[in-house]
Chains A and B, each alone.
Chain A
Amino acid sequence: MAADNSTAGPGREVAVVAFAQTVHRRSTDQLSEVELVLPVLHDVLKQTGLTTDRIGFTCSGSSDYLAGRAFSFTMALDGVGAWPPISESHVEMDGAWALYEAWVKLRTGQADTALVYSYGKSSPGCVRDVLTRQLDPYTLAPLWPDAIALAALQTQALIDAGLADERALAATAMRSRRAAEANPHAQLRGSADVEELLKQPYEVRPLRRHDCPPVSDGAAAVVLAVGDTARALHTRPAWIRGIDHRIEAHQPGVRDLTESPSTRLAAVHAGAFDAPPDTAELHAPFSAQELILRRALDLSDGTEVNPSGGALAANPVMAAGLIRIGEAASRIQRGESRRALAHATSGPCLQQNLVAVLEGEQ
């Protein structure tokens, strides 16, 4: 594909021009990863009228530990149909970071369009146990603290600091899952009211089941394009005005778990504080994390948070962050948002965070 010289090189504007996701489910026993990914890839290609050989760059995000085998992404590549050979890369991260790599590639001027996808099948194993393997292998992983236990520590810290109570957590969970009633892709749709939720037993104190994300299988895909190419592919591209990501120290013991400084720093670098967003899609698998992120991002009541239902309504690990960007972009493309913030997280207790700011044409 010839370079779009009108906007060549660093500084070119990049937009989301298509997004697709699966209907996320507790289990997809009958589907391989390729079969999970293939329909969303076809969907975004159909939306743009592009074919694989007309995509300038392809980048995916996934985890071998979820798949339970080495090089799992090589089989998923079969779903792309990488023939003739394609310019392609892969991150062992959530698809939001695959999108970041693709954004950088487009900014260099080496490509004008990019296909980004990610997927995660949590159902074959016990994702709670699997995620313990991403902890410090010498000092932390041998203790097997699982994702829910670590989130419980974080939530308790927030409660101890007087920044949340169990009622606020339940309200967050209820609002997310009620918002998901309008999202046909969500896994958990609808919720009992707060009083009913607070009568439920603890899962890991202070977390109840409603404070935790569902175990999900799912996939998502996005097409990015630059400048006039984007305008030709969509009447209302969702322009990425800024995108940045930052990481914190790994050991939960050396961090203030009630804050998310890496989210705030990424937001500063992404220009998130230049103007308030009307919409925010936050990747907060646990209810308390939404509260932490709202504070880190200075979100007021004027911002609608997680109209999709967020990760509390569907949490396909490795895709849930990319889905936040896709959901934010879709709101802009549907004319429901003028300026949307999308956030993705990785690691225990919000260790690593990405923030993107998207806008419609001004």
Chain B
Amino acid sequence: MSAAVNPAAVPAGPHRAVGQEPVAVVGVGQTRHVSARHDVSIAGLLREAAVRALEDAELTWADIDAVVIGKAPDFFEGVMMPELYLAEALGAVSKPMLRVHTAGSVGGSTALVAANLVAARVHGTVLTVAFEKQSESNAMWGLSLPVPFQAPLTAGAGGFFAPHVRAYMRRTGAPDHIGSLVAFKDRRNALKNPYAHLHEHDLTLEKVRSAPMLWDPIRYSETCPSSDGACAMVLTGVRGAARAPRPAAWMHGGAMRSEPTIFAGKDYVSPQAGRDCAADVYHQAGVVDPRRQIDLAEIYVPFSWYEPMWLENLGFADQGEGWKLVESGVTEMDGDLPVNPSGGVLSSNPIGASGMIRFAEAALQVRGEAGEHQIDGARLALGHAYGGGAQFFSMWLVGSERPDS
């Protein structure tokens, strides 16, 4: 099977729709992700990330025209439509406030909805925030409510995704140890990221490999933690970027794609929606060879094996070859395609925020603001998120240069 894209997925005509306002990320903020933030309310958690994003952009609440927030299912905190209660804490009173929910991809989708408000020139400067406070509830069982006449999603997401990992291993002949290499790499990367939830200084590859099996073939060490956390970004247009105190990250392309959860012929290992979404984003950005043109990727990898799976789905590797990039160290911090220098979802997973953290980390890298996990010379970076039954995808490409320059 080739990585061919569905021709209908890529619009004809100009790379990016004519006349859009270029979108810039001028502020990024996130919380230190931990298993339980008992010291703050939900509002306090979001406000922490939002205030940091405003500080980064050297803006105040009054500079914000609209607020777009996103999170995964409301059952994860037990609050229905929490944006209503969060209006005051996020300075949204008398402003437009939107709430996005596209399953696990929501952090990315939320950023894209906010970006479109700027691109369409509906608003000048938009604050976007995504969060999850998993300690308020229990996400695994929140996902496992029984629904009559539907296949149960037994015991959370791992139970759903493990068979697809096994299918990938069978299809590609990938050796058993690949997953542990990814987990070890991401957890080591997280040591350089002060916001990451897991800081496992004593971790060894042997410890990753000998961890208990959770959902065969996914070990405890190869699955994401449950985190409380929030991420926020300030998005603006050309004039806003000109006033920004620090370099902006410019959006070069962004897209969402969805496909049904279950249907005959669905490829769970490499879903068509993911391939189409990537093709659309690359097309907008004029990227024809993602492996060479893109400097690094922040990819949504909640279970270690999804790194090689998504490398193929995103066109960074041919079908069946993704695991070889992992094995040869290409995706290491010092490889030629670093993947998840932040430590990724495997090191922090405030579910609703996880996608936005990928988008924000990509932006930090091309701004040169990623601190100890900065990749030297990063000019073009991919932020990726997925959700549901590997059916919802959102991605953006951000660069250090303006797309029209």
Q: Which residues of A pack against B, CB within 8 Å?
A: 1-3, 5, 8-11, 32, 53, 58, 63-65, 68-71, 73-75, 77-78, 81-93, 97, 100-101, 104-105, 107-110, 130-131, 133-138, 140-141, 244-251, 261-262, 265, 346-348, 351-352
Let me know if B21 and A246 touch, CB within 8 A.
no
Q: Return the contact of A93 from the options B12, B21, B81, B276 (Cβ within 8 A).
A: B81
Let me know if A108 and B17 touch, CB within 8 A.
yes
Let me know if B98 and A352 touch, CB within 8 A.
no
Decide if B36 is an interface residue (CB 8 Å cutoff).
Answer: no
User: Which B residues between 1 and 51 are near A, CB-CB below 8 angstroms?
Assistant: 6, 8-9, 11-14, 17-21, 41-42
B133 to chain A, nearest CB (A): 10
With A2-B13, A137-B85 already in contact, the answer to whether A246 and B261 are too (CB < 8 A) is: no
Residue of B nearest to A65 (CB): B80
Let me know if B6 and A85 touch, CB within 8 A.
yes
B246 to chain A, nearest CB (A): 26
Let me know if A74 and B391 touch, CB within 8 A.
yes
A106 to chain B, nearest CB (A): 8
Residue of B nearest to A85 (CB): B273
B356 to chain A, nearest CB (A): 15
Let me know if B143 and A70 touch, CB within 8 A.
yes
User: Which B residues between 130 and 175 are near A, CB-CB below 8 angstroms?
Assistant: 142-143, 145, 147, 149-150
With A83-B260, A109-B17, A109-B19 already in contact, the answer to whether A74 and B389 are too (CB < 8 A) is: yes
Q: Return the contact of A352 from the options B79, B97, B256, B389 (Cβ within 8 A).
A: B97
Let me know if A249 and B88 touch, CB within 8 A.
yes
16 contacts between A and B (CB under 8 A): A8-B19, A70-B145, A74-B389, A81-B260, A83-B263, A84-B276, A85-B259, A88-B257, A91-B100, A91-B101, A108-B20, A110-B116, A134-B84, A135-B84, A247-B96, A249-B87
Which of A2, A70, A134, A244 has the largest number of chain B CB atoms within 10 A? A70
Q: How many angstroms between the C-alpha atoms of A135 and B150 in the bound complex?
A: 30
With A70-B145, A83-B259 already in contact, the answer to whether A107 and B150 are too (CB < 8 A) is: no
The interface residues of chain B lying within 8 Å CB-to-CB of A248 are 87, 93-94
Decide if B189 is an interface residue (CB 8 Å cutoff).
Answer: no
Let me know if A97 and B20 touch, CB within 8 A.
no
B84 to chain A, nearest CB (A): 4
The interface residues of chain A lying within 8 Å CB-to-CB of B97 are 245, 247, 352
Q: Return the contact of A109 from the options B20, B101, B149, B271 (Cβ within 8 A).
A: B20
The 8 tightest CB contacts between A and B, nearest first, are A9-B19, A109-B17, A70-B73, A85-B273, A8-B18, A88-B258, A107-B120, A134-B80
With A108-B20, A109-B19 already in contact, the answer to whether A247 and B276 are too (CB < 8 A) is: no
Residue of B nearest to A70 (CB): B73
The interface residues of chain B lying within 8 Å CB-to-CB of A90 are 100-102
Residue of B nearest to A32 (CB): B149
Chain B positions 217 through 258: 1 when the CB is less than 8 Å from some CB of chain A, otherwise 0: 000000000000000000000000000000000000001111
Residue of A nearest to B77 (CB): A137
Q: Which residues of B pack against A, CB within 8 Å?
A: 6, 8-9, 11-14, 17-21, 41-42, 72-88, 92-103, 109, 113, 116-117, 119-122, 142-143, 145, 147, 149-150, 255-261, 263, 271-273, 276-277, 280, 388-389, 391-392
Let me know if A89 and B102 touch, CB within 8 A.
yes
The interface residues of chain A lying within 8 Å CB-to-CB of B119 are 10, 108, 110
Q: How many angstroms between the C-alpha atoms of A286 and B257 in the bound complex?
A: 39
Q: How many angstroms between the C-alpha atoms of A354 and B18 in the bound complex?
A: 28
Residue of A nearest to B117 (CB): A104
With A137-B79, A248-B93 already in contact, the answer to whether A69 and B120 are too (CB < 8 A) is: no
Q: How many angstroms between the C-alpha atoms of A105 and B95 in the bound complex?
A: 19
Residue of A nearest to B87 (CB): A247
Q: How many angstroms between the C-alpha atoms of A328 and B295 in the bound complex?
A: 50
Let me know if B75 and A64 touch, CB within 8 A.
yes
Let me know if A92 and B74 touch, CB within 8 A.
yes
The interface residues of chain A lying within 8 Å CB-to-CB of B263 are 83
Which of A107, A251, A265 has the largest number of chain B CB atoms within 10 A? A107
The interface residues of chain A lying within 8 Å CB-to-CB of B20 are 9-10, 108-110
With A3-B11, A74-B103, A250-B87 already in contact, the answer to whether A93 and B93 are too (CB < 8 A) is: no
Let me know if A265 and B17 touch, CB within 8 A.
no
Q: How many angstroms between the C-alpha atoms of A13 and B302 in the bound complex?
A: 42
With A71-B103, A82-B258, A130-B80 already in contact, the answer to whether A245 and B96 are too (CB < 8 A) is: yes
Let me know if B78 and A109 touch, CB within 8 A.
no
A222 to chain B, nearest CB (A): 18
Q: How many angstroms between the C-alpha atoms of A65 and B78 in the bound complex?
A: 9
Q: Return the contact of A85 from the options B12, B17, B120, B276 (Cβ within 8 A).
A: B276
